[in-house]
Amino acid sequence: MSDVLSSYPLLLRGAWVTIQLTVYGSALALVLAFVFGLMGGARSAWVRAVGRVYVEFFRGTATLVLMYWLFYALPLIGFRFAPMFAAVLALGLNVGAYGAEVVRGAVKAVPKAQFEATIALNMRPWQRLRRVLLPQAVALMLPPFGNLLIELMKGSAVVSLISIADLMLRAQQLRQSTGQTTAVFLVILVIYFVIAQVLQLLVRYMERRADIMLGRRPGRAARSALDTLGAAK
């Protein structure tokens, strides 16, 4: 165990790569989720179909298969990616498909009257989305996005199979050099767990912020005002 703990710089470097993959992958997934999710709710049937095809295709493929395909098959027809790029692309495309469904569902779940009101107020389509629908929809998206974020972080462990030096690959190296298999894997399981818990706290914080922004929960200023009112009574 002490051998494993004393080589913590190696594990920290691996964890840093895992975190980088998570950040880049989720940034790509977020963009794709909004683009294709909003397409899924479009009025034109063609635009909707494009959104559907993206979602069905990338929800149907396994991340690892996609990654292998990008990494091993595509170079043969002339596209060569750096491993890191292939990994981020595979993670982002895959999680983005799930995210697109979340976005579509959330926008649809905003009460119909809100949409009608925007038409009554003669807002342009972009204004409707930007000022009324999205702020409410985003609050609904956050909890499922949180789950997807953790899924993506967990999914990033497979990049070790295309030789990116993430936490998982570092663990393999450490296993070979120390021979303490059980200890190594226990330690990195705990590291992954800690990362997941931190991500969860982050998402909870954002959920609270979104609620306050929409006036569904009193903010700090309002809370202290309420407190003084209560004290005055």
Closest separation in Å from C-beta 197 to other proteins:
7
Binding site for other proteins (CB under 8 A): 56-57, 59-66, 68-69, 72-73, 76-77, 150, 154-158, 160-161, 168, 171-172, 175, 181-182, 185-186, 188-189, 192-193, 196-197, 200
Nearest in space to 28 (alpha carbons), one of 74, 91, 107: 91
Residue whose CB is less far from other proteins, 39 or 150: 150
**All residues at 6 or more sequence positions from 135 whose CB lies less than 8 Å from its CB, including other chains:** 213, 214
The CA angle 223-227-232, to the nearest 5 degrees, is: 150
The sign of the torsion formed by the CA atoms of 62, 20, 99, 218 equals: positive
Closest separation in Å from C-beta 31 to other proteins:
23
Tell me phi and psi for residue 121, to 5 degrees: -85, 5
End-to-end CA, the chain:
60
Residue whose CB is less far from other proteins, 24 or 71: 71
Residue whose CB is less far from other proteins, 85 or 193: 193
Residue whose CB is less far from other proteins, 94 or 118: 94
CB contact at 8 A, 152 and 91: yes
Residue whose CB is less far from other proteins, 49 or 189: 189
Closest separation in Å from C-beta 64 to other proteins:
4
Closest separation in Å from C-beta 154 to other proteins:
4
Closest separation in Å from C-beta 56 to other proteins:
7
Q: Count CB-CB contacts under 10 A for residue 120.
A: 9
